[in-house]
């Protein structure tokens, strides 16, 4: 089968749609989780959702809906524990994580399920999506993205400074619960794409990547969604081509691709922050920079001399070992 | 019909972690008043401000804003709050403009884009604190004093009429304190009510109509404005260590504390 034929297949098209939607929805809500420093919340919800999936498989109900339900309950519980006090918050969360995972494995054992059925949810199985799976996934993903973008100003304010948000009259608790439920929904949307065990990666890694290069919240969330979509679709395509030679699962490929983006962005981020610091203008209103001629200077600064050129008022400074040199007559001044 | 007080605190107590931090506070701020809340570290100034904006539950007693009990109060666009905080950062970068724009949420409706008035108010607020050219920068890249100015701008953006400013000038340089003082003077002329927490009034001093000094969670002085140093006179700050009668400085008209005036107080 040629690649073109393969992408013409229905199951492949469904997989592409699911990958794209997941790639957009997971980082959208993930940005708010990272903003509150709850990067691992997606992971916790993912573990709890295992119980939901196992319940669905055992009772014959749709695992997607039981997972949404149980994950949302788990997310609300996590939120309540978090709100109630910091004292033993992370221990309580850990109990919930392990309880969710163990509960799921236990229930599926009781029901005599094969490991394969649960595995599809633990590690993702993009290519076995049914038509109704796609409809549900689309509806949920659109709801998550719509709410995240539409309520962004409110959600941003609540995550940025909870007390200020409350004094601004926002219903802080309602917004917190909304974020928890949206996180649960996007976990279940993503579970068929990358699997419950890797869900959190798609929520967090694109955000971490975007952050390397952005200075505002809006560009961060937009860039994270773009990167998430790129990694999901790219990962699926890569895995499909690679599968001609060896078996490659899309889920891990997607996550590895997202991590590769991070690995590329990280040094660029360091470099651009370094550059931004050097370009920092002198604070206005400050007294004129001291006029001190530097000592012996064998190097002639000029365009393309290798030192960063910084425009400074009416002349150009050259950044040189952490200080700035400006041409003045036959010598250089320290600026 | 009499105008109701902007803030009315009656016999309010606040406990944090089971420990009483404020005890029996009575405080009424009339509309248009500029009140300076002063006192030593840990005397409960921030806690009182938080209780007044509803961030700390009051046990016993009552807090009213513009005549409405706090539980029922919902006209939050009239309130501006600058918390006492060192940084304005969070897990994801946020630009100066975005943080200031959050102050506008009291006047925005759900799912509506920013109106022209919103943008103008945000712009004005940035202008006042002199951060227009840093608007696109991440707040975390600003200095502590600049971040403090961002928080001031956020409160100004909502165009409130009752301000709670918790040490807004801490770490802010003198020229910018002067700018803030000028802005507050203008707001005061327009009838704004201001409750300010400060250790050093600096350029704000001429604006203050009234000083309230807290000591150990009680109101120790409530009267005409004080000089900065007078707040730390022994009869305000250290109730149990002095052993002589003190001449009261002329401006201290009505100290409320009692045992602090006893010679050789309990120790
Ligand atoms: N979260 C808290 N839990 C328990 N006690 C607290 C808490 N926050 C403050 N306190 C206590 O309440 C008292 C008053 O604190 P508050 O922050 O109101 O003081 P302050 O007058 O604003 O001081 P500062 O000048 O340092 O800002 C302090 O003794 C402090 O130890
Ligand atoms: Mg304080």
Q: Is A163 found in the same domain as A17? A: yes
Residues within 5 Å of ion ligand 2, judged at the Cβ atom: B 46, 84
Given pLDDT bands bounded at 50, 70 and 90, which one contains residue A313? Answer: low
A159 chain-B contacts, CB cut-off 8 A: 90
Tokens of A331: 């010598």
* Residue closest to A231 by CA, chosen among A213, A206, A207: A206
A245-283: per-residue pLDDT in tens? Answer: 888 889 999 999 999 999 999 999 999 888 877 766 555
Residues of A in contact with B138 (CB under 8 A): 215-216
DSSP state of B258: S
B102:A217 CB<8 A: no
Backbone angles phi, psi at B148, to 5 degrees: -60, -40
The pLDDT of residue A333 is 61
Q: How confident is the model at residue B258, as a pLDDT?
A: 40
Q: Is B120 in the pocket of ligand 1 (CB under 6 A)?
A: no
Does residue B64 lie within any of the structural domains? Answer: yes
Establish if A283 belongs to a structural domain: no
Lookup: tokens for A183: 């996180």
**Cα distance between residue B202 and residue B193, in whole Å:** 19
Mean pLDDT of A312-335: 59
Range of the domain at B107: 7-235
pLDDT attached to residue B165: 94
What residue owns the CA closest to ligand 1's atom 10?
B16
Tens-place pLDDT, residues A16-37: 999 999 999 999 999 999 998 8
CATH code at position A157? 1.10.3470.10
- Minimum mean pLDDT among A59-68, A125-134, A295-304, B186-195: which range? A295-304
Q: Does any ligand 1 atom lie closer than 6 A to the CB of residue B16?
A: yes
Spell out which residues of chain B touch residue A151, defining contact as CB-CB under 8 Å. Answer: 110-111
Strands ordered across the beta sheet of B19-29:
B19-29, B7-16, B62-65, B68-69
Q: Which of B43, B197, B232, B237 to mutate to test the pocket of ligand 1 (most atoms within 8 A of CB)?
A: B43
Please tell me whether residues A243 and A151 are part of one structural domain.
yes
Residue closest by Cα to atom 3 of ligand 1: B16
CA B157/CA B129 separation, integer angstroms? 11
Give the β-pairing of B34-39 and B62-65: unpaired
Task: Indicate whether A315 and A267 sit together in one domain.
Answer: no
Q: Examine residue B266 and state whether it is found in any structural domain, yes or no.
A: no
Write out pLDDT tens, residues A205-215. 999 999 999 99
More confident residue, A119 or A84: A119
- Each of the 267 residues of chain B gets a pLDDT tens digit; together they read 457 899 999 999 999 988 899 999 999 999 999 999 999 999 999 999 999 999 999 998 999 999 999 999 999 999 999 998 755 568 899 999 999 999 999 999 888 899 999 999 999 999 999 999 999 999 988 888 889 889 999 999 999 999 999 999 888 899 989 988 998 998 899 889 999 999 889 899 999 999 999 999 999 889 888 776 676 665 554 444 444 444 444 444 444 444 444 333 333
User: Which of the four pLDDT bands, split at 50, 70 and 90, describes residue A219?
Assistant: very high
CB contact under 8 A, A169 and B76: yes
Confidence label for A312 from pLDDT (cuts 50, 70 and 90): low
For residue A316, what are the domain limits? 292-334
pLDDT at A166: 94
Do A314 and A185 sit in the same domain of this protein? no
How confident is the model at residue A87, as a pLDDT?
52
Higher-pLDDT residue of A124, A314: A124
Distance between CA atoms of residues A221 and A227, nearest Å: 10
Predicted local confidence at residue A280, as pLDDT: 65
Q: Name which of B55, B74, B90 is nearest A163 (Cβ-Cβ).
A: B55
Residue appearing with tokens 């109730």: B239
Report whether residue B84 contacts ligand 1, using a CB cutoff of 6 Å: yes
Confidence of residue A94 (pLDDT cuts 50, 70, 90): confident
> How many angstroms separate the CA atoms of B108 and B106, rounded?
6
Tell whether B2 is covered by a domain. no
Element (H, E) at A317: strand A315-320
**Per the domain annotation, does A268 fall within a domain?**
yes
Mean pLDDT score, A309-315: 60
Is residue B116 one of the residues assigned to a domain? yes
Last residue of a domain, one of A234, A249, A275: A275
Is-above-0.95 flag for pTM? Answer: no
Distance from Cα A329 to the centre of ligand 1, integer Å? 59
pLDDT at A165: 94
The whole-number pLDDT of residue B243 equals 41
Find the length of chain A.
Answer: 335
Q: Can you give the pLDDT at residue B90?
A: 80
A69 lies in the same domain as A201:
yes
Nearest ligand to the CA atom of B83: 2
How far apart are the C-alpha atoms of B70 and B249, rounded to whole Å? Answer: 37
Say yes or no to pLDDT of A203 above 90: yes
- Classified as helix, coil or strand, B88 is coil
Position A318 scores a pLDDT of: 60
Q: Which residues of B touch A168 (CB under 8 A)?
A: 76, 102-103, 105-106, 158
Residue ranges of B 101-120 with Cβ closer than 8 A to chain A: 101-103, 105-106, 108, 110-111
Chain A to chain B, count of Cβ pairs less than 8 Å apart?
A: 93
CATH value at residue B72: 3.40.50.300
Residue A154 and residue A204 share a domain:
yes
Quote the CA–CA distance of A98 and A159 in Å, as a whole number: 27
pLDDT at B143: 85
Number of domains in chain B: 1
Pair A237, A330 in one domain: no
Among A275, A303, A321, where does a domain finish? Answer: A275
Has residue B254 been placed in a domain? no
Min distance B50 CA to chain A CA atoms (Å): 9
Task: Answer with the residue of higher pLDDT: B258 or A314.
Answer: A314
Domain assignment of residue B229, yes or no: yes
Q: Do A245 and A316 sit in the same domain of this protein?
A: no
pLDDT at res. A73 = 94
Give the confidence band of A298 by pLDDT, cuts at 50, 70, 90.
low
Q: Is residue A285 part of a domain?
A: no
CA distance B197 to B178: 16
The answer as to whether A183 is a domain residue is: yes
> Is pLDDT at A236 greater than 90 in this prediction?
yes
Complex ipTM value: 0.84
* B90·A167 Cβ contact <8 A: no
Same domain? For A323 and A271 the reply is no
> Is the residue at B51 inside a domain?
yes
Task: Decide if A139 is inside a domain.
Answer: yes
Contact assignment for A167 to B53 by CB distance below 8 Å: yes
Reported as a single tens digit per residue, the pLDDT across A101-128 is 999 989 988 888 777 888 889 988 888 8
**Residue A90 sits in the same domain as residue A182:** yes
The number of domains in chain A is: 2
User: Which residues of A fall within a CB distance of 8 Å from B83?
Assistant: 161, 163-164
Decide if B264 is inside a domain: no
A167 & A304 share domain: no
Same domain as A176, residue A125? yes
Residue A97 lies in a domain: yes
Instruction: Starting from the CA of residue B218, give the closest ligand.
Output: 1
């Amino acid at each position: 089968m040629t690649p073109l034929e393969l992408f013409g297949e229905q199951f492949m098209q469904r997989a592409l749609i699911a990958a794209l939607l997941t790639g957009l929805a997971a980082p959208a809500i993930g940005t708010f989780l990272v903003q509150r420093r709850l990067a691992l919340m997606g992971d916790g919800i993912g573990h709890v959702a295992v119980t939901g999936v196992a319940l669905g498989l055992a009772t014959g109900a749709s695992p997607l809906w039981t997972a949404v339900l149980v994950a949302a309950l788990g997310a609300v519980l996590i939120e309540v524990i978090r709100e109630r006090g910091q004292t033993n918050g992370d221990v309580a969360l850990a109990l919930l994580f392990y309880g969710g995972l163990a509960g799921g494995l236990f229930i599926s054992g009781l029901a005599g399920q094969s490991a394969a059925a649960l595995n599809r949810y633990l590690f993702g199985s993009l290519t076995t999506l049914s038509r109704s799976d796609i409809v549900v996934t689309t509806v949920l993903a659109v709801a998550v993205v719509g709410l995240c973008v539409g309520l962004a100003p409110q959600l941003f304010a609540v995550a940025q400074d909870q007390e200020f948000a409350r004094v601004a009259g926002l219903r802080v608790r309602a917004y917190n619960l909304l974020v928890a439920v949206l996180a649960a929904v996007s976990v279940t949307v993503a579970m068929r794409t990358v699997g419950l065990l890797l869900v959190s990666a798609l929520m967090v890694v694109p955000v971490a990547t975007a952050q390397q290069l952005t200075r505002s919240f809006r560009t961060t969330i937009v860039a994270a969604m773009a990167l998430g979509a790129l990694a999901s679709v790219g990962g699926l395509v890569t895995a499909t081509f690679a599968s001609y030679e060896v078996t490659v699962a899309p889920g891990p490929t997607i996550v590895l691709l997202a991590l590769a983006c991070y690995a590329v962005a990280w040094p660029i981020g360091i470099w651009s922050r370094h550059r931004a610091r050097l370009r920092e203008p002198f604070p206005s209103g400050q007294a004129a920079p001291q006029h001190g001629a530097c000592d012996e200077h064998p190097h002639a600064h000029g365009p393309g001399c290798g030192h960063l050129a910084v425009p400074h008022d009416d002349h150009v400074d050259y950044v040189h070992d952490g200080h700035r040199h400006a041409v003045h007559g036959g010598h250089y001044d320290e600026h | 019909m009499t105008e109701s007080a902007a803030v009315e605190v009656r016999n309010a107590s606040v406990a944090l972690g089971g420990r009483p931090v404020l005890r029996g506070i009575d405080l009424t701020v009339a509309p248009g008043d500029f009140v300076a809340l002063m006192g030593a570290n840990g005397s409960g100034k921030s806690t009182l401000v938080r209780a007044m904006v509803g961030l700390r539950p009051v046990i016993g007693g009552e807090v009213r804003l513009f005549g409405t009990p706090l539980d029922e109060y919902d006209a939050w666009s009239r309130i501006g709050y600058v918390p006492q905080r060192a940084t304005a950062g969070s897990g994801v970068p946020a630009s100066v403009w975005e943080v200031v724009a959050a102050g506008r949420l009291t006047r925005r409706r759900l799912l509506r884009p920013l109106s022209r008035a919103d943008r103008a108010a945000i712009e004005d607020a940035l202008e006042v604190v002199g951060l227009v050219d840093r608007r696109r920068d991440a707040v975390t890249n600003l200095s502590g004093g600049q971040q403090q100015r961002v928080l001031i701008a956020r409160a100004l953006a909502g165009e409130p009429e009752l301000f709670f400013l918790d040490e807004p000038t801490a770490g802010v340089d003198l020229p910018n304190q002067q700018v803030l003082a000028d802005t507050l003077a203008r707001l005061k002329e327009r009838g704004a009510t201001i409750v300010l927490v400060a250790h050093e009034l600096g350029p704000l001093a001429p604006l203050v109509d009234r000083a309230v000094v807290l000591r150990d969670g009680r109101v120790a002085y409530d009267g005409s404005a004080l000089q900065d140093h007078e707040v730390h006179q022994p009869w305000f700050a250290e109730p149990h260590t002095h052993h002589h009668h003190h001449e009261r400085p002329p401006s201290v008209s009505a100290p409320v504390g009692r045992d602090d005036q006893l010679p050789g107080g309990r120790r």
